[in-house]
Structure 1
Amino acid sequence: MKFDTAYSLSLDEKLSIYDVRDLNFDETTAFDSDKDSFLCPNDECRATFDTGNALSTFNAKNVNYLRTPHFKNKTSTRHIDGCRYASTHKTTTGENDDEREENFPSEWLLTRRQYERKNPVVGTEGNVPLDPTKAPSSRISTPLPASDTAPDKTSVFAHPVECYVSNIDDKDKLKSMPLKIGDHTATYWTFFKKIEYLQDNKGLIYWGKIKAIKDYTSSFRIDFEKKVWLDRKPYSVNVYLSKKLIENYRKRKAFLEQIKAAADSERPLYCFFYGVTPELQQVPSKKNPDQTFGVFSANIENLDHLIIREAPGVEGL
C-alpha cells in the first residue's frame, strides 16, 4: 500500500512525501530522510509500536524520478487492527500502484512551509521506544489538517504537478478536482495551460515540451518546442534562469544536477512553471544586430515554482 503522508520522528510533524523530497535537497536545512524515521500517520496506530516500526520512502532522494514518490509499508511494518494503512499484501518494489498520485491538494501555498526540528535525528538502528502515553504532536508551521490523511494544502510545486501528470489519462478527474492558488480557484484541468496557449489567460501553470536547454555556464535558457501564434505569425517561447537566481537558490546543487542532465538528455522532457507569463519581446539578431525579431520570453523569478521532468501521456492532449 502506498500513501502520501507519514509522521517524521525528527520533526515531530506529519509530512507529505513531497515535503520530504523538498527537505532532502534543501542546502539550508540539516535533513536526511535516510537518518529519520517515518511512522504511520495514524496517531493511535503509531503509539502502539516503537519507532523501529518504520515505513519506507519511495523516490524520496532521487533528483529525477519516473514513478510517483510515496511512503509505503515495509514487509516488517505492523499496524493495529482497523488501521487504514495496513497492507493486505506483501509490499514489493514492483507494485503497480506507484504510477498515480491520488492525494490531490486543494490548495497550493505560494509561501514555502517552514520546519522546526523538535527531536534529534535517529537512524533505524538507534531508535528509542515511543512513549504510548504521549500523544504525538500534529503541530505544523503552516496550518494543515490534523487528520492522518494526506494534507489538503501543499507548498511544494511538485505535488500538484504530479497529480496532473500521473492522472493525465483521466480528464474527468482533472476537470472535477479543485485547486486554489492565491486568490484564484479553478480545476486542475483549467490551471494547467499548454505553453502555446499562454495568451488565453495569465496566472496559470504553463507547461510544454522542451526543445533545447541553452547552458550559458552560470545561467540557462529553456526553449519550448511549440510556438505561439500572434497575428498569423509563429513566435518562439522561452524562459530564462539568471545566474543570481540560481546562485541564491536553496536547492542549488540538486537543481544544477538536474538541469545539466536535462540539457544532455535525449529523452522527451517537459517544463512546468508558475509566477511569470512570457510576453512578446523584440531581441536583436546575432547575425544582424541592427535587426530584431519577436519572441515570447520571461525571466523565472522563483525556482521553487519551476520543474523539469518527464511527463508520459501528455502528448496525447
Structure 2
Amino acid sequence: MKFDTAYSLSLDDKLSIYDVRDLNFDETSPFDSDKDSFLCPNDECRAAFDPGNALSTFNAKNVNYQRTPHFKNKASTQHIDGCRYASTHKTATGEGDDQREENFPSEFVLTRRQYERNTPVVGTQVSVPLDPTKVPSTRTNSSHSTNDTTPDKTSVFAHPVECYVSNIDDKDTLKAMPLKIGEHTATYWAFFKKIEYLQDNKGLIYWGKIKAIKDYTSSFRIDFEKKVWLDKKPYSVNVYLSKKLIENYRKRKAFLEQIKAAVDSERALYCFFYGVTPELKQVPSKKNPEQTFGVFSANIENLDHLIIREAPGLQGH
C-alpha cells in the first residue's frame, strides 16, 4: 500500500512525500530522509508501537523520477486493527500501485512551508524524543493540516503537477478536482494550460514539450516545441532562467544536475511553470542585429515553481 503522508521522527511533524523530497534537495536544510524514521501518520496507531516500526520511501531522493513518489509499508511494518494504512494486498513487485497520484491537494500555497526541527540529528542516528510513543505536538500550520490524512494544501509544486500528469488519461477526475492558487480557483483540468494556448488566460500553470534547452554556462533558456499563433502568425515560446536566479536557489545542486542532464537528453521532456506568463517581445536577430523578430518569452522568477520532467502519458495530449 502506498500513501502520501507520514510522521517524521526528527521533525515531530507529518510530512508529505513531496515535503520530504523538497527537504532532501534543500542545501539550507540538514535534513536527510535516510537518517530519519518515518512512522504511521495515524496518531493512535503510531502510539501503539516503538519508533522501529517504520515505513520506507519510494523516489524520495531521485532527482529525475518517472513513477509517483510515496511512502509504503515495509514487510515488518505493523498497524493496529482498523488503521487505514495497513496493507490490504501485495503485488508481485510491491510497486504495482505507484503509477497514479490519488492524493489531490485542493490548494497550492505560494509561500514555502517552514519546517521546525524538534530534535537534532547527530551523525546517522535520529535523536529519539524522551517518550517515543507520544503523539506529535499539535501545531498550527497555515498550509498543512494536523490529522493523519493527506494535507489539503501543499507548497511543493511537484505535488499538483504529479496529480495532473499521472491522471492525464482520467479527464473526468481532473475536471472534478478543485485547485486554488492565490485568489484563483478552478479545476485541475482548467488550471493546467498547454503552452500554445497561453493567451487564453493569465495566472495558470503552463506546460509544454521542450524543443531545446540552451545552456549559456550560468544561465539557461528553455524553448518549447509548440508555437503560439497570433494574427495568423506562429511565434516561438521560451522561458529564461537567469544566472542570479540559479545561484541563489536553495536547491541549486539538484537543479543544475537535472537541467544539465536534460540539455543532453534524447528523451521527451516537458516543462511546467507557474508565476509568469510569456508575452510577445521583439528581440534582435543574431544575423542582423538591426532587425528584430517576435517571440513569446518570460523570465522565470521562482525556481520552486518550475519543473522539468519526463511525462510519457502526455504524448498525444
TM over 0.5: yes
**Aligned residue number for residue 246 of structure 1:** 246
Comparing 234-243 and 143-152, the one that deviates more: 143-152
Q: How do 1:294-313 residues align onto structure 2 when only pairs under 5 Å count?
A: 294-313=294-313
**Aligned residue number for residue 236 of structure 1:** 236
Letter in 2 for 1:50: D
What is the percent sequence identity of the aligned residues? 87
**TM-score normalised to the size of structure 1?**
0.96
Q: Residue 21 in 1 paired to residue 51 in 2?
A: no
Q: Residue 116 in 1 paired to residue 119 in 2?
A: no
**Aligned residue number for residue 61 of structure 2:** 61
Letter in 2 for 1:291: Q
1:126/1:303 Cα in 2 relative to 1: closer, same or farther (>3 Å)? closer
Letter in 2 for 1:213: I
Write the distance in 1 (CA, Å) between the matches of 2:240 and 2:159: 23
Q: How do 1:154-165 residues align onto structure 2 when only pairs under 5 Å count?
A: 154-165=154-165
Write the distance in 1 (CA, Å) between the matches of 2:12 and 2:112: 18
1:243/1:177 Cα in 2 relative to 1: closer, same or farther (>3 Å)? same
Q: How do 1:265-276 residues align onto structure 2 when only pairs under 5 Å count?
A: 265-276=265-276
Task: Give the C-alpha shift of residue 95 in structure 1.
Answer: 2.2
Q: How do 1:1-317 residues align onto structure 2 when only pairs under 5 Å count?
A: 1-90=1-90, 93-121=93-121, 128=128, 131=131, 134-139=134-139, 141-317=141-317
Write the distance in 2 (CA, Å) between the matches of 1:133 and 1:277: 49
Task: Give the C-alpha shift of residue 196 in structure 1.
Answer: 0.2
CA contact (8 A) 2:106 2:153 kept: yes
> RMSD across aligned C-alpha pairs, in angstroms?
1.7
Q: For 1:167-211, what per-residue CA distance to the aligned partner results, in whole angstroms no more than 9, with x for missing partners? A: 000000000000000001000000000000000000000000000
CA contact (8 A) 1:51 1:130 kept: no
Q: For 1:215-259, what per-residue CA distance to the aligned partner results, in whole angstroms no more than 9, with x for missing partners? A: 000000000000000010000000000000000000000000000
Write the distance in 1 (CA, Å) between the matches of 2:158 and 2:126: 32
Task: Give the C-alpha shift of residue 89 in structure 1.
Answer: 3.2
CA contact (8 A) 1:18 1:159 kept: yes
1:12/1:38 Cα in 2 relative to 1: closer, same or farther (>3 Å)? same
1:303/1:143 Cα in 2 relative to 1: closer, same or farther (>3 Å)? closer
**3-state SS of paired residue (2:98):** helix
Comparing 291-300 and 306-315, the one that deviates more: 306-315
Q: For 1:108-131, what per-residue CA distance to the aligned partner results, in whole angstroms no more than 9, with x for missing partners? A: 000000011002337887674873
Write the distance in 2 (CA, Å) between the matches of 1:125 and 1:314: 42
1:92/1:63 Cα in 2 relative to 1: closer, same or farther (>3 Å)? farther
CA contact (8 A) 1:45 1:83 kept: yes
Comparing 293-302 and 123-132, the one that deviates more: 123-132
**3-state SS of paired residue (1:135):** coil
CA contact (8 A) 2:17 2:60 kept: yes
Write the distance in 2 (CA, Å) between the matches of 1:63 and 1:144: 24
Unmatched tracts of structure 1, length 5 or more: none
Task: Give the C-alpha shift of residue 141 in structure 1.
Answer: 3.8
Write the distance in 1 (CA, Å) between the matches of 2:192 and 2:61: 26
Task: Give the C-alpha shift of residue 3 in structure 1.
Answer: 0.1
Task: Give the C-alpha shift of residue 145 in structure 1.
Answer: 2.0
**3-state SS of paired residue (2:72):** strand
1:212/1:85 Cα in 2 relative to 1: closer, same or farther (>3 Å)? same
Q: For 1:30-59, what per-residue CA distance to the aligned partner results, in whole angstroms no more than 9, with x for missing partners? A: 100000000000000001111111000100
Unmatched tracts of structure 2, length 5 or more: none
